Amino acid sequence: MIEKVKKAIYRHEGKRDDEFSSFYFVVHEILVDRWNKSNTPLHCLAHSLNPSLSWLNETSNRQPPHQDNEITKERKIYLKRIFPNNEEFRAVQVEYGKFSGCLKSFSDSDSMSDRGKIDPKHWWLLYGSSTPLLQKLALKLLGQPSSSSCAERNWSTYSFVHSIKRNKMTPQRAEDLVFVHTNLRLLSSSPTYKEGGSKMWDVGGDHHDSFEDVGVLEVANLSLDETDMEAVIFTDDGLENEGNENIEVESIKKRVALIYFPF
């Protein structure tokens, strides 16, 4: 990846490979720092247990994890940390050898063909029974999300819903509002949001017959990410200011769940 970035920058700047580029120097430092941040024994072990990467095509310019010295060293460090007993460590090393080399039960044609076709966790559930220590470890590691961004967004939405002015809501009411608000954000980014049955849906509410001759509403052109829209909540009676404790969200929640995919 770094080599590709270098070629793109040098081609854009019209420099030769042996020339110095201050811009590439800065980019290179950022990429190396980012790599070192994720280059830990835990990440290397999870990378090694991904079945789609353990048997790469010979024409690929990437090395399988068991042939990479750096990954092998970091994987061994973490395995020793998990299995301090020498016998268990030796047993899990043997199991990894079977897995990485497609030996014995892993040499089955279905096992090999499914390595890059199905979810890694599902693959271990289907074909990892012959290596119980490695299977248990793989299911724990590969079942973890690679990023906390989804949780961060959910907490951010929850802090908006459960504010200082609205701090007496029940947990269920707060969860319903987070559900509605998050789905509205997802829907507003869809190109079909302003077409068909959802056209101006979040503006008119449930009790409109027609939008003919109503003019341009003030909030019709606002994005749901804007602060003006975030200060508005929707009730069965129309639009109200933030702070109303008696918000009926069930009808909105049902409508979002039925028309669009749930959060």
Does residue 84 have a pLDDT over 70?
yes
* 127-137 burial code (b ≥16 CB/10 A, e <16): bbeebebbbeb
Q: What is the pLDDT of residues 200-252, one digit of tens each?
A: 555 444 444 444 444 444 444 444 444 444 444 444 444 444 444 444 445 44
Alpha-carbon distances of 207 from 66, 187, 260, rounded to whole Å: 63, 21, 20
Q: What is the pLDDT of residues 7-34, one digit of tens each?
A: 999 999 899 888 899 899 999 998 888 8
What the block records as the tokens of 18 is 């042996």
Rounded mean pLDDT of the chain? 75
Q: What is the pLDDT of residues 93-113, one digit of tens each?
A: 999 999 988 898 898 889 888
Q: Report pTM.
A: 0.53
What the block records as the tokens of 196 is 């068909």
Whose tokens are 């052109």? That residue is 221
The reported pLDDT for the residue numbered 73 is 92
Report the alpha-carbon distance of residue 65 to residue 74 in Å, rounded. 11
Strands (E), the chain: 232-235, 238-241
Cα 174 to chain centroid distance, Å, stands at: 24
Q: Where are the domains of the chain?
A: 39-143, 148-205+215-260
